[in-house]
Structures are given as C-alpha cells and as structure tokens.
C-alpha cells in the first residue's frame, strides 16, 4: 500500500511539473476564432489576416477590438508587432486622451464561466486585464493604471509611440510575474485575449500588425 501511495505521489508530481503546451493564436484566412467589437458612435477599426499568423490593423479616427475567448493554463506569451503609422505619444492614464497603436489584453477571471462577449466579460467584477501597449509616452516596463477599468485593469508599456516604425519588434512576456507585479497577487485563470487599436481621440491614423502570437 505504501509503495503504491508513494508511486502515486511521484506520478502526480511529474504531471504537475510538465510544461504547459504552447498554443498558437491563428488569424487567417478569415479570423474564424476571433470576434470584432465596435464601440457606439465611434468608427470601427479594420482587422484583416495577411496570413495564418499575421494580423493587420487599420484605424482612421477610429477604435476597435478583436476578441478571442480561451481556456488556457498559460503562464507566458510571445508575439511580434510593428507599427508603420501610429498616433503621437499620449498619456495612457487619461481617459479620452489615451490613443495607442496596439494594446494586447490578456483577460483573467477568478471564477471562469461560459465564454461571453468582450464588453460583458470586462464589466464583470471577477475579471481583470493585463494590457501590453505599443504606444503612449511611458518607458518600457512602466505599470499604468487603466483609466477605463480602475483597479481591475493595468497597462504595461512595452514600446513607446516613438519606437522605430516599419520594424518588427519581438516580445516575450511572463504573464504570471507581470500580473503579480501589477496586481500584487497570483495570476487567476487566463480566459481570453483581445487586440485593441484606437485613434479616435487624436483624430489620427494607425497602421500596425501583430504576428506569431503564442501562449504557453
């Protein structure tokens, strides 16, 4: 009996130590796993798949989000992104003046339930969001309180609006460590990813791309 019990503990520990399988978040050819979200009274962003791994984004005095629900035990994420045209540096703490070329939302819940739309999900008191930003005026690594979600949303600056254009920038983030740094507690379950772009406040243009998104 003791030998069987010990063997069971060894097997359980081995399974717990196994790495989480990587999941590529595909886009093409017609964004089948993603839902575009518009905001009332604001011109929509345009999202299109250049290929299976590449998303192109365009906003002209516009804003929009592309949302995908997930059921993942991911602790890290990686992707590439580039901005060919982007809004000028903005203050990301100011609601109504926080345009950015790209914001990638990783959405978490303490009590995961059936998948719902993005806006309903973000309105839930059980939901938090960690948002990595290409844009704004803050240095890399700065943690910024979201002017839209209050204590439930945190921005992390990765590339300022002044970062080189027409260049792919590689990102590899530790979601668990960044969540703990931003929120002061352990990361809940990852339930979705959203890709956001807006230029409606500055009446400007964004032309940007995201490529090779993977969570694991």
- Render pLDDT for 151-162 as a digit per residue (tens, 0 to 9): 999 999 999 999
pLDDT tens string 86-131 = 999 999 999 988 999 999 999 999 888 776 788 888 888 899 999 9
Residues 6 or more apart in contact with residue 169 via CB below 8 angstroms? 80, 81, 82, 134, 158, 159, 163
Q: What CATH number does residue 211 fall under? A: 2.60.120
Q: Which of 18-22, 146-150, 151-155 has the lowest mean pLDDT?
A: 18-22
Place of tokens 């982007």: 86
What per-residue string of b and e applies to 147-169 under the rule 16 or more CB within 10 Å gives b?
bebeebbbbbbbbbbebeeeeee
Residue 198: its H or E element? strand 189-198
Is-contact 194 77, C-beta < 8 A?
A: no
CA distance 41 to 25: 30
Instruction: Give a yes or no: residue 4 inside a domain.
Output: no
Residue 207 lies in a domain: yes
Does residue 138 fall inside a structural domain? Answer: yes
48 occurs within a structural domain: yes
Domain count, the chain: 1
Please determine, for residue 18, whether its predicted confidence score (pLDDT) is greater than 70: no
The pLDDT of residue 120 is 86
Spatial distance between the Cα atoms of 55 and 28, rounded to a whole number of angstroms = 8
Domain range for residue 119? 20-215
Question: Which range among 18-27, 51-60, 130-139, 174-183 shows the weakest confidence by mean pLDDT?
Answer: 18-27
At 211 the pLDDT is 97
């Amino acid at each position: 009996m003791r030998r069987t019990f010990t063997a069971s503990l060894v097997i359980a520990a081995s399974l717990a130590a196994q790495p989480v399988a990587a999941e590529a978040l595909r886009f093409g050819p017609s964004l089948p796993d993603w839902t575009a979200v518009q905001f009332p009274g604001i011109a929509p962003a345009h999202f299109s798949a250049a290929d299976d791994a590449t998303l192109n984004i365009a906003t002209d005095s516009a804003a929009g989000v592309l949302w995908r629900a997930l059921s993942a035990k991911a602790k890290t994420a990686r992707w590439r992104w580039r901005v060919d045209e982007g809004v000028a540096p903005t203050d990301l703490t100011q609601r109504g003046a926080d345009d950015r070329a790209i914001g990638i939302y990783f959405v978490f819940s303490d009590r995961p339930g059936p998948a719902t739309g993005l806006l309903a999900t973000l309105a839930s008191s059980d939901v938090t969001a960690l948002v990595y930003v290409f844009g704004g005026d803050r240095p890399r690594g700065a943690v910024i309180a979201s002017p839209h979600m209050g204590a439930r949303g945190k921005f992390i600056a990765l590339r300022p609006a002044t970062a080189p254009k027409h260049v792919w920038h590689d990102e590899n983030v530790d979601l668990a460590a960044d969540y703990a740094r931003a929120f002061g507690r352990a990361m809940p379950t990852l339930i979705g990813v959203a890709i956001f772009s807006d230029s409606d406040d500055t009446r400007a243009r964004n032309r940007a791309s995201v490529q090779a998104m993977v969570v694991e």
